[in-house]
Amino acid sequence: MEAAAAAAAVVGSSFRIHRPATSVGGSVFLAANGPHFVRFSIKYDFPTNKHCSLVSYGKSGHRRVGFGRGISAIVRASSSSPPSDSSGSLAPIAPLQFESPIGQFLSQILITHPHLVPAAVEKQLEQFQTDRDADKEKEEPGTDLVLYRRIAEVKANERRKALEEILYALVVQKFMDANVSLIPTIAPSSADPSDRVDKWPSQDEKLKQLHSPEAYEMIQNHLALILGNRAADSTTVAQISKLRAGQVYAASVMYGYFLKRVDQRFQLEKTMKILPNVVDEGGSNVQQDMKSSRGEDAFQAVSSHPEAWAGSISPGGFGHSIKSSRLRSYVMSFDGETLQRHATIRSKEAISIIEKHTEALFGRPEIVITPQGTIDSSKDELVKISFGGLRRLVLEAVTFGSFLWDVESYVDSRYHFVMN
């Protein structure tokens, strides 16, 4: 269960985030699709919302921040200058640039007054709820239902797109609160294209502190399955496909999302002292444990899940070189249905964020499918990166997924959009 499709990425298989046709609430399940489909994102257009937040300046030079219709606050100009690049413009704090008016507004707040982001988000979510309630009230007997429903659909679509960027802004803020800078867009140096791309500082210890001890044990296994015997090697430089690196990153984000979900449940049951008996410090081969504890059906359910693909990295197959841990034993006690439910990303917005962030970080890959159905990687860009840099990438990705679960739950508690 260690790699949420990372293994398939390394050995050449591809992944996508599959949206079942029968899904009503927009839930998704991570699914393998062999060499037939590879993508990082879906392109979206962001229409302007007439109720978007605004920023204006008064005569005194103070900034007036509007959080919605009729709601505003005054922000005094800070004496310290926000970070800027060589051109003098504000430097990006995340690879993905915001496109909606609300997203651009939050981007500015993140750079200049990050402590105001929660208040801005709260007000915007209140406005979303007000707008949604107003749309429902307009659907009254005697009115043109088709017209009103169409208008409501357009508004709901605008809110959903703005909601994606609200979620992303909250994830970025959690990294800022932890004093961890996100890795910038990965591109070879214009001066020396053969130079290493991992110029970012190592922040492994900071990232480690953001996870529970039990979760970090599983993250260590995840790293071991991806890096193999190079897990402790931080200096050796390797040449890797940007497409494969992007697949590993996106899969690790999904793994982090899954891991935070099960760890949250584990920590609750541990506190309440109701953990199942199978959770102990011992344990044999994971694959055998799964077959014996819950039967062949549960094993098949897990094996069909992307996390089981990680075994293809290690020469011993699934479960080889995986250290047993309490959280791992706890997860293995799930039946197939429970495991599938926990491995499901709950909202379309979260899916879109993973896709867009990965594309912003690695670029949009140029994928060519041969007549035989395989991927033609001849046009795939290669970059040089140290194993230490790759480790940093994976740790950030897992943490990103963990934060995504947190902010998705937080926003849903104030503006319900998660359907399961």
pLDDT at 304: 38
Which residue has better confidence, 65 or 213?
Answer: 213
Count Cβ neighbours within 10 Å for each residue of 336-346 and write b for 16 or more, e otherwise.
bebbbebbbbb
**Is residue 82's pLDDT more than 60?**
no
pLDDT in tens, 341-350: 999 999 999 9
Selection from 4, 16, 25 nearest residue 348 by Cα = 25
The band of 151, judged by pLDDT with boundaries at 50, 70 and 90, is confident
CB 33 within 8 A of CB 26: no
Write down the pLDDT at residue 374.
80
Better-predicted residue by pLDDT, 58 or 43: 58
Give me the phi and psi of 252, to 5 degrees please: -70, -35
The Cα 362–Cα 380 span in angstroms is 12
Distance CA(198)–CA(221), nearest Å, equals: 23
- pLDDT at position 147, please? 78
Q: What is the pLDDT of residue 330?
A: 92
- Residue that the structure tokens 């959280």 belong to: 327
Considering only residues 416 and 24, tell me which one the structure prediction assigns the higher pLDDT: 416
Q: Say which residue the tokens 């760890």 belong to.
A: 263
The DSSP symbol for 84 reads B
Asked if residue 294 has pLDDT above 80, the reply is: no
Q: Which residue's entry shows tokens 């679960």?
A: 405
pLDDT at site 314: 36
Cα 332–chain centre separation: 24
Predicted confidence at residue 91, as pLDDT, reads 56
Q: What is the mean pLDDT of the chain?
A: 73
Tokens 């014996």, residue?
A: 292
Q: Which segments within 261-409 are labelled E, that is strand? A: 344-345, 368-369, 375-376, 382-386
Give the mean pLDDT of 149-174.
Answer: 90
pLDDT for res 331:
92
Q: In sequence order, which ranges of 94-186 are alpha helices (DSSP H)? A: 101-112, 117-137, 145-177
Average pLDDT over residues 155-174: 93
Tokens 């890959």 sit at which residue?
Answer: 365
Residue 351, token pair as written in the block: 């899916």
pLDDT at 418: 92
CA distance 252 to 25: 24
For the segment 348-375, the average pLDDT, to the nearest whole number, is 89
pLDDT at 78 > cutoff 60 = no
- Whether the CB-CB separation of 241 and 381 falls below 8 Å is answered with yes
**Amino acid found at 172:** V
What residues have CB less than 8 Å from 355, skipping those under 6 apart?
17, 39, 40, 41, 42, 250
pLDDT in the model for residue 126: 95
Please tell me whether residue 224 adopts helix, strand or coil conformation: helix
- pLDDT (average), residues 250-254: 96
Residue 61 contacts by C-beta under 8 Å, 6 or more apart in sequence? 77
Confidence of residue 257 (pLDDT cuts 50, 70, 90): very high
Average pLDDT over residues 25-33: 36
In terms of pTM, does the model score above 0.85? no
Q: Tell me the average pLDDT across 72-90.
A: 41
Inform me whether the pLDDT recorded for 148 exceeds 70: yes
Which residue type sits at 363?
G
> Which of 151-155, 217-221, 313-317 tops mean pLDDT?
217-221
* Mean pLDDT of the 369-384 span: 81
Distance (Å, rounded) from C-alpha 354 to C-alpha 373?
26
Question: Is pLDDT at 317 greater than 60 in this prediction?
Answer: no
Whether 142 shows a pLDDT value over 60: the answer reads no
pLDDT value, residue 337: 92
Phi-psi region of 374 (alpha: psi -120 to 50; beta: other; left: phi over 0): beta
Quote the DSSP letter at residue 94: S
